[in-house]
Amino acid sequence: MKAILKYGLVAMCALAANAFAQDFCNTAAHSGSKVEVSTNNVGSFSNGIGYELWNEGGNGGSATFYDDGSFNCQMTGAKDYLCRAGLSFNSDKTHTELGHMKADFKLVKNNLSGIQYSYIGIYGWTREPLVEWYIVDNTGSDYMPGDWVAQGSSAKKHGVYDIDGAKYTVYEGDRTSYSIDGDNKYFKQYFSVRTSKRDCGTIDITAHFKKWEELGMKMGKMHEAKILGEAGNSEGAKAKGEYDFPYAKVYIESDTPSSSSVAPEVSSSSTTVIQEVRPMTTGSSMSLVFDAQGKFLTSFETENDVDLTTAIKARFHSGIFLVKQGGNVRSISVK
């Protein structure tokens, strides 16, 4: 059915149409609760956003993580420093079972020095097989990572491919070193390295997974997918400076928009809004939940609208929320 809603909902629904097209490359700023970390640490916020700081040797930097997903990385003399935030899975599901993954990020670099190698982009691990993987869109050094990233007995440069609207060089290798399963472990390494740097944009993570698998680079059960700032120097604790991510969100969206989700239609008169409501079809759907200002709050996997409304009410009690399912956005009022 269709309902004609009065002006009180117009501004909110207009925002719903624009909230996910916001220009975070220009307007992003840290917000929400924060955690300051100065030693190796793995943690998460109540909304499910995971974070980690890792320094070889346990010193050489700190980090501040915010519950909106943004974070700040401070290197004060690091040998190998990794600072990241995003989705933690540690699951028995593959990326195809979890859904289509993307990430939005904005990067600001300040006062960098002593950085011999650096990876800035998306980072994670899988198990069965044990794989450390990178999607590199920027770096803290003067150059992007090159052929040297492919190491070990399986070292291979697969070539340059068009992935997600840009050119990336794909590499494969292996190491025996630190891992999520302990030290001195053998694991594979996969890299997609962008041929040109960028400081802001959206990365289609799943597009890289699919290309790797086409090339025979097997992915396993997902442990994490996080936006990463890494820097190091093989000669010692020399890497210094700041990677600031005032906007950083890793999220899952459906390849096929749910038939229950219909984007709001805003009247050209700016006095009414038409929103079509349909019953949700059988089968679970991943819903991304934002407040009325477009700030990401959480995500739920639910079977129908009743379950989704109940889940939102249990966590946030009441209010007007923007819900993104697949490529569509709509509003839900919880009383």
Among candidates 73, 64, 65, which has minimal Cα distance to 240? 73
Structure tokens at 102: 């993307």
* 265 is an active site residue: no
Task: Report the distance separating Cα 331 and Cα 265, nearest Å.
Answer: 12
- Catalytic hit among 52, 172, 224, 230: 230
As a whole number of Å, the end-to-end CA separation of the chain is 22
Determine how β-strand 166-179 pairs with β-strand 117-127.
unpaired
CA dihedral 92, 97, 99, 104 (to 10 degrees): 30
Q: What's the CA gap between 68 and 70, in Å, rounded? A: 6
Q: What is the DSSP letter of 213?
A: H
What's phi and psi for 59, nearest 5 deg? -145, 180
36 is known as an active-site residue: no
Alpha carbon 49 to chain centroid, angstroms:
10
Between CA 71 and CA 65 the distance in angstroms is 4
The tokens for 104 are: 């939005």
Residue 204: both structure tokens together:
């289609």
**Among candidates 215, 283, 226, 225, which has minimal Cα distance to 254?**
283
Let me know how long the chain is: 335
**Of 52, 132, 224, 253, which residue is the catalytic one?**
132
DSSP codes joined into one string, 46-102: TTSEEEEEEETTS-SEEEEEETTS-EEEEEEEESEEEEEEEEE--SS--HHHH-EEE
Q: Compute the distance between CA of residue 292 and CA of residue 85 in angstroms, rounded to an integer.
A: 24
Q: What 8-state DSSP symbol labels residue 147?
A: G
Q: Which residues are catalytic?
A: 132, 230
